[in-house]
Amino acid sequence: MKTVLFCGGLGTRIRDYSENIPKPMIPIGDKPILWHLMHYYSEYGHRDFVLCLGYKANVIKEFFLNYRPHIYADCVVSGFGDTVETLGDPQRDWRITMIDTGLWRNIGERLLAVRSHVEGEEMFLANYSDGLSDVDLPAMTEAFKKSGKVACFLAVRPSFSLHLVDMEASGKVNCLKHTQDADLWINGGFFIFRSEIFDYLEDGDELVEAPFRRLIEADQLLAFKHEGFWRPMDTLKDKEVLEDMVEQGSMPWRLGRAGQASAASVSRKAG
C-alpha cells in the first residue's frame, strides 16, 4: 500500500524549531521524526510514499535528494571514499513522491491534491507525520479489511496530563478525574483509507471534521483502539521525551528493538 504523509503544516505549537525547518524535519536523535515514521512503515513493507509538502517544502526535498545512508550508520570506507559499505540495518529502498500541495491548505485539501497519486490503490495509508507509535499495523489493517468500511483511524489514550472536571451549570463540582483514569480516546493520526474516501471529501474540507461526520452518518468509519505506545510531537516537551527515549535506545516504534517496557516507562513518567 502507498503511504500518504501530510508534511505541509506550519507547526505553530513548536515554533522554536519550525521557524527554521518544517515540523516533520525536526530531529529526534540524529534523524528527522519524518524519517522515523517512514522507517516504521517500511519495516512493515510499505515503502512507496507520497509526501504532501507545503511550508518550507524545499527543506524536505533537499533532505531526500541529498540523502546519504552512511551518514546515519556505521560504515566501512575504502578508496578514500570511492566505496562506502554501510553496516547494521539494511537501507530501505524507498520510492518517494514529493508534491507541493501549497502553503495554506488544510489536511483534507492536501489529500485531494494528491488524489491522482493514489489512483488504482484499493486502500492506502496516511499519517500526520508528527507522531510515533508501536501499533501493530498488520492487525489494524486486517481489522479494517474485515470491517468493510471506508476509513479507519487509530484511537489512543491522550498523552497529556490534566484533571477533567464534572460540574453542574451552577458551578458545583461533582468530581475531578485524571485524564489517565478517564475513558478518553483521541485520534492518533494513523489512518487507513479505501479509495472511496474521496467520495466523502469536498473542496475546503478539513479531513476529520465534515468528511468524518459524513462517514459516521453512513456507518463507514472504524476506530482501532491501541493501548500501547503512542506519542505526538506537539510541543518542546514532547520532543524532549522522544529525544530521551532515543538516547536510552528505547524506541518502541522500531520493530525488533529491545527495551519497550522502559520506553513505556519513560513515556508515562513524562505524562
The pLDDT tens digits of the residues spanning 79-129 come to 877 777 777 665 568 999 999 999 889 999 999 999 999 999 999 999 999
Are the CB atoms for 28 and 37 separated by under 8 Å?
A: no
pLDDT (tens digit, 9 = 90+) per residue, 7-61? 987 755 665 665 678 899 999 998 999 999 999 999 999 999 999 999 999 999 9
The region that residue 47 occupies, defined by phi over 0 for left and psi between -120 and 50 for alpha, beta otherwise, is alpha
Mean predicted confidence (pLDDT) in 125-141: 97
Which amino acid, 238?
D
Cα(30)–Cα(46) distance, integer angstroms: 23
Q: Give the residue among 230, 231, 52 at the shortest CA–CA distance from 124.
A: 52
pLDDT (tens digit, 9 = 90+) per residue, 46-91? 999 999 999 999 999 999 998 876 666 777 888 877 777 777 665 5
Are the CB atoms for 143 and 29 separated by under 8 Å?
A: no
Tell me the residue ranges of DSSP E strands in 157-229. 163-167, 173-178, 186-194, 221-226
More reliable by pLDDT, 170 or 20: 170
Q: Cell triple for residue 66?
A: 541529498
- Third-level CATH fold of 2-156+185-232: Spore Coat Polysaccharide Biosynthesis Protein SpsA; Chain A (3.90.550)
Q: Where are the domains of the chain?
A: 2-156+185-232
pTM for the whole structure: 0.85
State yes or no: pLDDT of 138 exceeds 50: yes
Q: What percent of the chain has pLDDT above 90? A: 63
pLDDT of residue 81: 72
